[in-house]
């Protein structure tokens, strides 16, 4: 069965008692060998998928690619006049896609193609994250929050579907903590995290030991993305507390967290699967994908979940 969802064991507890779903691989030896072989083929398959959807969406790129522009001496923002709904009086709904660290707007190319087919009257945006996410969470989040706020203010009842991967999922978590019940009260909101790095990753713990890597690549991220860091714990705590606000005010919001057994970037994989005690949350685990390929591999699951929820 794909995805496998019978792999949960006892929750992992952080020092702030923010539980994560832990993952135990219960597949047999032969099955694991098959999964590993398939994983080795994924980069080639993903390359074809990426190129195909990049070309397929090239002519439509202006309708969903939003670029940062300088709005003051030391700040960047998205030009709200370039948003696809800038001159609209109504909108059926919004898809907002947020790519991960070092990523780009075509990370979700296959999703965007699917949106054009299944949600032709919806607005779709896939912004380029500030510095491709190689910046503080605040720097990456605030310009994207402005995009979303503009939509929420213009269309107070239209549904919003927010989908992020890796660091993009972490950005969406921060955005959620900054929204109010007035923003979401009269609409359906769905938030999907694909291989999200919610409690950091031990990969960064290892990389930041190299001083050149810490200085030239990670900057603020070295403290934000180390596994179980105070920063990551605080963000998860705020996200959990926000679920209580949503429930108390009758906000229609649901979350889907997706992980893969063979995630080479988010270690442990449990970091992808926070338990939001007060929220309505679903979890899906894929046994035969890596950190990048799970984005496209989860597409069918994501759209089916959106249809059912």
User: 245-289: per-residue pLDDT in tens?
Assistant: 999 999 999 999 999 888 888 988 889 999 887 668 999 998 878
**Cα–Cα distance for residue pair 116/303, rounded to 1 Å:** 13
pLDDT given at position 37? 67
- pLDDT per residue rounded down to tens, the chain (309 residues): 333 344 443 344 344 455 788 776 666 667 667 666 676 666 666 666 666 666 665 555 544 555 555 554 445 677 788 888 988 999 999 999 999 998 888 789 889 889 989 999 999 999 889 888 888 899 899 999 999 999 999 999 999 999 999 999 999 999 999 999 999 999 999 999 999 999 999 888 777 666 555 555 566 677 888 899 999 999 999 999 999 999 999 999 999 999 988 888 898 888 999 988 766 899 999 887 889 889 988 999 999 999 999
Cβ atoms of 169 and 225 within 8 Å: the answer is no
Beta strands 68-72 and 75-78 are antiparallel
Spatial distance between the Cα atoms of 157 and 116, rounded to a whole number of angstroms: 21
Q: What pLDDT was estimated at residue 2?
A: 34
| DSSP string over 134-195 | -S-HHHHHHHHHHHHHHHHHH-TTS-EEEEEETHHHHHHHHHHHH--HHHHTTSEEEEEEES
Encoding tokens for residue 168? 């993009």
CA 23 to chain centroid: 20
Sign of the CA dihedral running 112, 268, 236, 209: negative
pTM reported for the whole predicted model: 0.85
Q: What is the spatial distance between Cα 5 and Cα 79, in angstroms, rounded to a whole number?
A: 42
CA 25 – CA 262 distance, rounded (Å)? 10
What are the Cα distances from residue 30, in Å, to 36, 153, 262? 10, 54, 16
- Locate 266 and state its tokens: 């988010």
Cα separations in angstroms, 166 against 25, 103, 269, 273, 291:
21, 10, 11, 12, 8
Q: Contact 123/58 with Cβ under 8 angstroms?
A: no
Q: Which tokens sit at 34?
A: 């098959």
Of 224, 191, 188, which is closest to residue 205 (Cα–Cα)? 224
Identify the three-state secondary structure at position 228: coil
């Amino acid at each position: 069965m794909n995805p496998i969802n019978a792999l949960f064991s006892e929750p992992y507890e952080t020092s702030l008692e923010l539980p994560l779903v832990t993952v135990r691989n219960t597949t047999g030896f032969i099955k694991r060998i098959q999964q590993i072989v398939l994983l080795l083929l994924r980069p080639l398959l993903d390359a074809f998928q990426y190129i195909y959807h990049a070309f397929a969406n090239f002519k439509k790129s202006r309708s969903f690619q939003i670029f940062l522009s300088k709005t003051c001496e030391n700040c960047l923002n998205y030009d709200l006049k370039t948003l696809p709904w800038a001159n609209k009086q109504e909108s059926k709904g919004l898809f907002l896609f947020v790519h991960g660290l070092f990523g780009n707007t075509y990370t979700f190319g296959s999703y965007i193609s699917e949106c054009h087919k299944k949600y032709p009257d919806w607005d779709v945006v896939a912004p380029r994250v500030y510095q491709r996410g190689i910046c503080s969470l605040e720097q990456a989040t605030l310009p994207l929050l402005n995009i979303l706020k503009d939509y929420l203010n213009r269309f107070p009842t239209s549904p919003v579907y927010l989908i992020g991967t890796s660091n993009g999922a972490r950005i969406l978590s921060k955005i959620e903590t900054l929204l109010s019940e007035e923003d979401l009260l009269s609409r359906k909101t769905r938030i999907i995290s694909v291989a999200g790095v919610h409690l950091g990753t031990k990969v960064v713990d290892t990389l930041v030991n190299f001083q050149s890597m810490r200085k030239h690549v990670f900057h603020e991220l070295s403290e934000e993305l180390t596994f179980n860091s105070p920063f990551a714990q605080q963000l998860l705590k705020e996200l959990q507390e926000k679920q209580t606000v949503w429930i108390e005010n009758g906000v229609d919001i649901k979350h889907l967290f997706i992980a893969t057994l063979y995630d080479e970037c988010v270690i442990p994989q449990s970091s992808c699967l926070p338990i939001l005690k007060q929220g309505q949350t679903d979890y899906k685990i894929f046994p035969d994908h890596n950190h990048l390929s799970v984005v496209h591999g989860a597409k069918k699951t994501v759209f089916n979940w959106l249809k059912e929820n």
